[in-house]
Structure 1
Amino acid sequence: MTSENDRPDRSGGGAGEGPGRACDIATAAAAELDGRGVVVSWTRAAERLLGYPATEVLGRSAVTLLAVPGDAARVAAVAHWAGDGWSGSVAARHRDGHAIQLAVEVSPVITAATGGTAAPERWSVVALEEWRVPGGGVNQLMLEPFLAHAPVGMAVLDTDLRYVWVNAVLERLIPLEQRLGRTVAQVLPRDEADAFEERMGQVLKTGKPVMDYEFRTRNYADPNQERAYSASFFRLAGPKGRGVGIWYMVIDVTERWRAQEGLALLNDASARIGSTLDVARTAQELADVAVPPLADFVAVDLLDSVLRGEEPEPGPVDSTPTMWRAGQRSVREGCPEAALAVGEAVRRQPWSAIGQCLLTGESVVEPLLNADSTWVAEDPRRADVVREYGFRSVMVAPVRARGITLGAATFVRSRRQGLFDADDVRLAEELVARAAVCLDNARRFTRERTAARMMQRNLLPHALAGGVALDVASWYFPADVPSGVGGDWFDVIPLSGARVALVVGDVVGHGIDAAATMGRLRTAVRTLANLDLPPDELLARLDDLVIGLMETRRDGGAGADDGTAATALGFMGATCLYAVYDPVSRSCTMARASHLPPAVLAPDGVVDFPDLPAGPPLGLGAMPFESAELELAEGSLLALYTNGLLETYDRDIGVGMARLGRALAEPGATLDEIGGNVVSALLTGPPSDDAALLLARTHALDASQVASWDLSADPAVVAGARNLAGRQLAAWGLEPLRFTTELVVSELVTNAIRHGSGPITLRLIRQDAALICEVFDTGSTAPHLRHARTTDEGGRGLLIVAQLTRRWGTRYTANGKIIWAEQGQGEPPRESSGEAPRETPGKTPGDPAPPVPAPHDAG
């Protein structure tokens, strides 16, 4: 046996690494072990330290002297550390049974070469009570209790990933007897164990620690709750840096995780909710965002007034309002647990969970659902749903924004672990509050858009009538833009002489301003059309009106500082196409102000786009407008449209016009069928600009409906003209209109002879519901009504015509003017204010009429 005073210092470590450096080696206990760990040498200091005499220790394994099995495993591992030493703290068992914490250093003393390697044959063990080592008291009295009872979980594992030590925190999660000596895979759940083993292996291999690995697992104390943890892994190294085990630390970060999850949910909601200004879509986005991060099923119910865009009453809802399911989402495909489908009415009682939420304006939470819960009792069908799908908790939050209640959002948990708590309520209220602002914005937009579209519908024609000249049909599609309205318009205007005017136009821009301007231009066109102006002159007058509008807006906004100037200058003009079709001559006169030309489909199926003078846009006033006249065969089809129908972001005007031509050329199709073909071919989705289409199929009046006579400018022909008109009405079977028509003919012919010049032409046109009388002369003087005094001999002719007919007027031609009057067939003649009709001067009622020419075709 080696004397305790003869042992050399074999610590081999730096200061503080072992007992040889920590204190006087003479006071340390020493022993020697063979290669199998059997004690072969035992000093008196070792006997004083542990109480065992040499006779009881020699020949025994050193492992039997240890108090903790884990320390035994570490000591047994010494045999595998060829050429290495080991130092550390172990618990030894005193002969009387109490444990002693020792600071130990193990070093090889005899090494034999075997098979090319150096295998230790003898080991030197130096031990000292740990409290005697400088700093050892701290280790013994403070460090060990601190580690064992620290508020974070800690564990030590050997290189086989077997637990050799855990502190009290981890022991509370899984009992100590279920950990020590077992591997990670035998202790932890499979997914958690796989992740731990992967990271521990990486740490053992590289020596680089893994920090802050976060994972979630069920709460061992409460399986219904889910907790989040952060784990950090470190390698335990021997004196020469070889890994001897793993130490890891686990911290409960559930609160941090929930805060991060809540912030991520709110951030996601800010990006996804409110992507459109559609109320129902926004409600669905709220449900989509909340499932599954917050709940397993979410339903959003909104007040009926909100979906219509109306302004709800401020404050709580203290009645049983009609609500609609605006959106819902579930972790289960198809929302099988939902009692209602999206779009169905929801009727709640005041005492229900949603009723309480609407009344109080505060969230309602029922943490654990059963058949007696309020949320279940308000709808008996829910009891079965709760049992079938395992509903655990429900929360109802009010949807409120800007002091008004819009509806309620219901959150339900079933698959998700845990019940709704105060933190969930705060998160749901914040989420719903953000969504409520978007819903209210969408509601306000719906209100404004509805008002704008209603105004636009009222400004556009409600019904179109082409009379005997045209069969007409129209289509209008608002732009798919936030405003929803634009400045496109079309109209069909009856004119004198059975003629019909067709007009289509486009105001630059969108919004209420463009729609209002469109209404003003449409009204102006109808007013100018009633003056029977030629197309080119009408566009010139309309151009002056647009220039005036722009100047007025520019002047009105120049001095404003509230943003109205920019709005005023936003109107930059308009385009327009104006056409007049005459069914008697089958002529169509057109003029356009930078608008797209019409498409003309001939009866033989050939489509043509007439080359009309383009003209400048309305509002420039730079160049004059020109008109062109076409002769259309009966049955021709006219198509007037705006550029929104043809031009898209991926298609230019030329391609659109080619598609339009092919869509129009369908033999035997009705106007509705042709229009449907055009829309299907050109509008594959909501248009980016307003699109208008006006179709008109032409008719011609044959000779049996028109009678015309050329008259000389002699007052003697007036009586003959009356007789001609009377005989023609008799031939047409319009005897009830004979008396009135003869008076009208007499007055108009007399005025033409007295105030006009050149040859005179009398023409009668019979329509289905009207009779038109026209008198043409070469004069340019415009007639007008006069209110003659009782002493005046004349001046009452046009007043009599106005009293006897439905309407009358004057239109100018290239060679003169036409005075016309229109009567309704089947209408009784109007009284003539008590005055007898004026006869032709120099003739009495019984005189025979002078010779007049026979009627001829008006064409």
Structure 2
Amino acid sequence: MSRAEQRFEWADRPEDGASGPSGLLDLLGVAAVLLEADGRIDMWSPQAEELFGYTRAEAVGQYAAPLLLHPEHQEAAIGLFAEVMATGREWAGAFPVRHRDGGTRMVEFRNMRLTDNLGDHYALGLATDRSTVREVERQVALSTRLVAQAPIGLSVLDTRLRYLTVNPALAAMHGVAEADHLGRSFREVLTGASFVGVEEMMRRVLASGDPVVDLEVVDRTAADPEHDRAWAVSLFRLEDHHGHALGIANVVVDVTDRYRAAKEAERAQHRLRLMATGTAGIGTTLDVEQTARELADVLVPGLADLVTVDLLDSFLETGRTEVGEEPALFRALAVKFAYPSDAVRALVPPGHLTAYHADHPAAHCIRTRRPLLITRLRHGDVERVAADPEAARLLAEAGVHTDMTVPLIARDHVIGVMGLARARNPQPFDEDDLTLACELASCAALSMDNAVLHQHIRSAAETLQRSLLPRLSPRHPGLEVAARYRPAQAFSEVGGDWYDVIPLDGDRTALTVGDVMGSGIPAATTMARLRTATSTLADLDLGPARILTHLDKITHGLDPYIATCVYAVYDPHRAQLRAASAGHLPPVLVRAGRAPELLDLPSGIPLGVGGAPFQAVTVDLRPGDQLVLYTDGLVETRNDPIDERLGDLLRLLSSPYASVEETCDQLLKQLRDPAGHDDVALLIARAHPLTAADGPGAARV
């Protein structure tokens, strides 16, 4: 078996048994020479042939001193040899040796006396090139110094990942003494979950030989058990010069400052994104409840695991924020969890009222107008932030560990509070989180205040609007009449739409629908003026075109308002309808047995523009025929062409309905934009034959 074959056979042996050579002796090239007692060479190793240049045949039997040393060194060397042989003491030193090629090299010697079983003495000389020894010494000294004094962590582990060497820097990082590392496995020293992956990586490096450089590891050690630290870990397989694995070199650089700076930068960017999202996503409507939900949506899960938004009930009811001696009464508007949790039962459901105890953070915010941050919730703190003991139990079981409560302040008045907490997110709230929450709360509070103010103004306008609309008489000569008014939704202002049914002499009836451009109380007030003027002018028995001409002059005096209007008069005795339009959408005429059609009226100009005459047309309106008057809020949307919407109106009117009341309801249900951006006035009149009940007295009801 060759030497190489023997080496591989030994390398495969278990570590705790016999194993192959380390390779260090091969690196040093140690030569062995055996001398007899008189100084003659008896044995000559192959390494000696390489070191001195003489073959075995040339060396064996020769006296060593004359063969290897220059004359001036021979006497000293013979003396040292004699001393070793006489005393048995070992001698080590260096001599300049004469190489067979004529050159000279400095060689390190170590000589010792050997005695065989017969008592005869021999001298064993071990020799190696001194420059090689010095190079190894320098490398060892450098490695030792670097390992001991390097500010980075260094360690060597064997193939079973047991510590062989640890420098002081790494011992300090681990919080474990150097001596307590030795012989222990990697995972015995470092028990954190993140180190499981590092151990697996070490095994891969041992198997493949591919190094791992700057692997970031974040965890905690005994040196700082309360805080996460970060390290850049590099792993290298150590090999002998034959390529056999000796173990793992572990280089560890503490990068906690860099890690924390990066995390802080990431958090800052996250806060900026939240702020941008909140600015764009909070207050999209003039609906206070929707605004509260939008605030919660921005904060969960971006900042908190759960958020509650409560407003003072007095503010919602009256727009005022006075708080008396009694505990403040809150109405919950929004509750949001980042995940399903039984802890939701600890919170007041949206729409419900509650009064928090005096020590509750919400009560604190109302009294002081300042936010309250509780970084770490202890047992007593959980009871403080909860509404009652049962709520405290649910929050504690959910793992709520940090809390902050922020007042909602708008125009220097506290209108409510916002509560935030974390449970699964292990990080406690800090001052930066509180600052972000306060900024978003301020933005939302102003939107909520605007929404409540708008709602009160809108409510007043709607009340005014409804009070100014007519109460229809149940009977009109020759007509069945139904009307509807629908205000805009809560996020839009009430407009100036109106309808009216005016009894006239001769059993005639005036029908009118109009729309003042604008919204709010001013538009409603203008609408009332025009409706009153229309009713007054109708009593003068003027034709539709003359009526609109006078209304145009009146509206012009109400600058800057303009309005559209359709005015029609139905005479049941003649079965005729005479109508005129001032820039309004055309009425629909529905005749029995025929498709509904838009009444062909000269469109005219809106009221208030002035300068153009109005024209009236006369059409037959026989029993069973219907006239549908409406404002643009019924058919106009922000996305659909008006022609398509008018087509939808005609298709719906082609279906038979039991009554004009049902027709009104179905048109509103099918056509009105769900968003309700505009108000709607709708008036439907169906002609029927005159009866005895429609006598002259009934015509003036």
Rounded to whole Å, the distance in 1 between the matches of 2:529 and 2:290 is 35
Q: Does 1:505 align with 2:506?
A: no
Rounded to whole Å, the distance in 2 between the matches of 1:647 and 1:618 is 20
String of CA shifts for 1:565-612, please: whole Å, max 9, x gaps. xxxxxx5x3321111223343322110122221112234474232212
Q: Which amino acid aligns with 2:351?
A: G
String of CA shifts for 1:519-572, please: whole Å, max 9, x gaps. 44333323323333211111112222333444xx5xxxxxxxxxxxxxxxxx5x
The match for 1:465 is 472
Per the TM alignment, residue 287 of structure 1 is displaced from its structure 2 partner at its CA by: 2.8
Rounded to whole Å, the distance in 2 between the matches of 1:199 and 1:479 is 69
String of CA shifts for 1:632-683, please: whole Å, max 9, x gaps. 2234322111223223244323322232223234435233322222123213
Superposition pairs for residues 232-381 of structure 1, below 5 Å? 247-253=251-257, 256=261, 257-258=263-264, 260-261=266-267, 264-272=270-278, 273-277=281-285, 278-308=287-317, 310-313=319-322, 319-333=326-340, 336-339=343-346, 340-365=348-373, 367-370=376-379, 374-375=383-384, 378-381=387-390
- Among 432, 442, 453, the alignment partner of 2:448 is 442
Structure number with the higher helix fraction is 2
Rounded to whole Å, the distance in 1 between the matches of 2:690 and 2:188 is 98
The match for 1:643 is 632
C-alpha spacing 1:189/1:132, structure 2 compared with 1 (3 Å): closer
- Among 518, 525, 536, the alignment partner of 2:545 is 536
Per the TM alignment, residue 443 of structure 1 is displaced from its structure 2 partner at its CA by: 1.6
String of CA shifts for 1:72-125, please: whole Å, max 9, x gaps. xxxxxxxxxxxxxxxxxxxxxxxxxxxxxxxxxxxxxxxxxxxxxxxxx99944
Which protein has greater RCO, CA pairs closer than 8 Å, 6+ apart?
A: 2
C-alpha spacing 1:634/1:174, structure 2 compared with 1 (3 Å): farther
C-alpha spacing 1:345/1:232, structure 2 compared with 1 (3 Å): same
C-alpha spacing 1:353/1:442, structure 2 compared with 1 (3 Å): closer
Rounded to whole Å, the distance in 2 between the matches of 1:160 and 1:496 is 112
String of CA shifts for 1:52-91, please: whole Å, max 9, x gaps. xxxxxx9xxxxxxxxxxxxxxxxxxxxxxxxxxxxxxxxx
- SS at the partner of 1:459? helix
C-alpha spacing 1:160/1:399, structure 2 compared with 1 (3 Å): farther
Rounded to whole Å, the distance in 1 between the matches of 2:501 and 2:300 is 54
C-alpha spacing 1:297/1:605, structure 2 compared with 1 (3 Å): same
CA contact (8 A) 2:174 2:223 kept: no
The match for 1:767 is 698
Q: Does 1:168 align with 2:174?
A: no
Rounded to whole Å, the distance in 2 between the matches of 1:192 and 1:516 is 76
- SS at the partner of 2:482? strand
Per the TM alignment, residue 452 of structure 1 is displaced from its structure 2 partner at its CA by: 3.4
C-alpha spacing 1:621/1:172, structure 2 compared with 1 (3 Å): same
C-alpha spacing 1:218/1:635, structure 2 compared with 1 (3 Å): farther
Rounded to whole Å, the distance in 2 between the matches of 1:517 and 1:532 is 23
Identity between Structure 1 and Structure 2 (%): 30
Q: Which amino acid aligns with 1:227?
A: D
CA contact (8 A) 1:369 1:386 kept: no
Per the TM alignment, residue 146 of structure 1 is displaced from its structure 2 partner at its CA by: 5.3
- SS at the partner of 1:395? strand
C-alpha spacing 1:179/1:388, structure 2 compared with 1 (3 Å): farther
Rounded to whole Å, the distance in 2 between the matches of 1:533 and 1:179 is 113
C-alpha spacing 1:688/1:175, structure 2 compared with 1 (3 Å): farther
Q: Which amino acid aligns with 1:587?
A: Q
- SS at the partner of 1:592? strand
Q: Which amino acid aligns with 1:357?
A: C
The match for 2:616 is 627
- SS at the partner of 1:354? helix
Rounded to whole Å, the distance in 2 between the matches of 1:390 and 1:335 is 11
String of CA shifts for 1:9-40, please: whole Å, max 9, x gaps. xxxxxxxxxxxxxxxxxxxxxxx9444x7873
The match for 1:147 is 150
String of CA shifts for 1:708-735, please: whole Å, max 9, x gaps. xxxxxxxxxxxxxxxxxxxxxxxxxxxx
The match for 1:227 is 228
Q: Which amino acid aligns with 2:508?
A: R
TM-score of the aligned structures, taking structure 1 as reference length? 0.56
Runs of 5+ consecutive residues of structure 1 not aligned to the other structure: 1-31, 44-57, 59-120, 554-570, 707-764, 771-859
- SS at the partner of 2:472? coil
- SS at the partner of 2:365? helix
- Among 124, 134, 142, the alignment partner of 1:126 is 134
Does 510-519 or 181-190 show the bigger shift?
181-190
Rounded to whole Å, the distance in 2 between the matches of 1:195 and 1:579 is 88
CA contact (8 A) 1:574 1:618 kept: yes
- SS at the partner of 1:408? strand
- SS at the partner of 2:255? strand
String of CA shifts for 1:670-716, please: whole Å, max 9, x gaps. 3332222212321352144443322223344347855xxxxxxxxxx
Rounded to whole Å, the distance in 1 between the matches of 2:223 and 2:176 is 8
C-alpha spacing 1:270/1:132, structure 2 compared with 1 (3 Å): closer
- SS at the partner of 1:667? coil
- SS at the partner of 2:344? coil
CA contact (8 A) 2:508 2:571 kept: yes
Superposition pairs for residues 44-123 of structure 1, below 5 Å? none
Per the TM alignment, residue 465 of structure 1 is displaced from its structure 2 partner at its CA by: 1.3
- SS at the partner of 1:639? strand
C-alpha spacing 1:154/1:491, structure 2 compared with 1 (3 Å): farther
Q: Which amino acid aligns with 1:250?
A: D
C-alpha spacing 1:769/1:549, structure 2 compared with 1 (3 Å): closer
TM-score of the aligned structures, taking structure 2 as reference length? 0.68
Q: Which amino acid aligns with 2:332?
A: R
CA contact (8 A) 1:547 1:620 kept: yes
Per the TM alignment, residue 247 of structure 1 is displaced from its structure 2 partner at its CA by: 3.2
Does 407-416 or 332-341 show the bigger shift?
332-341
Rounded to whole Å, the distance in 2 between the matches of 1:502 and 1:482 is 31
Per the TM alignment, residue 303 of structure 1 is displaced from its structure 2 partner at its CA by: 0.9
Rounded to whole Å, the distance in 2 between the matches of 1:481 and 1:378 is 32
Superposition pairs for residues 539-550 of structure 1, below 5 Å? 539-550=548-559
Rounded to whole Å, the distance in 2 between the matches of 1:230 and 1:170 is 10
CA contact (8 A) 2:564 2:583 kept: yes
Runs of 5+ consecutive residues of structure 2 not aligned to the other structure: 1-22, 34-46, 48-127
CA contact (8 A) 1:646 1:657 kept: yes
Rounded to whole Å, the distance in 2 between the matches of 1:233 and 1:512 is 74
The match for 2:604 is 615
CA contact (8 A) 1:324 1:345 kept: yes
Superposition pairs for residues 197-212 of structure 1, below 5 Å? 210=214
C-alpha spacing 1:607/1:210, structure 2 compared with 1 (3 Å): same
- Among 494, 497, 507, the alignment partner of 2:503 is 494
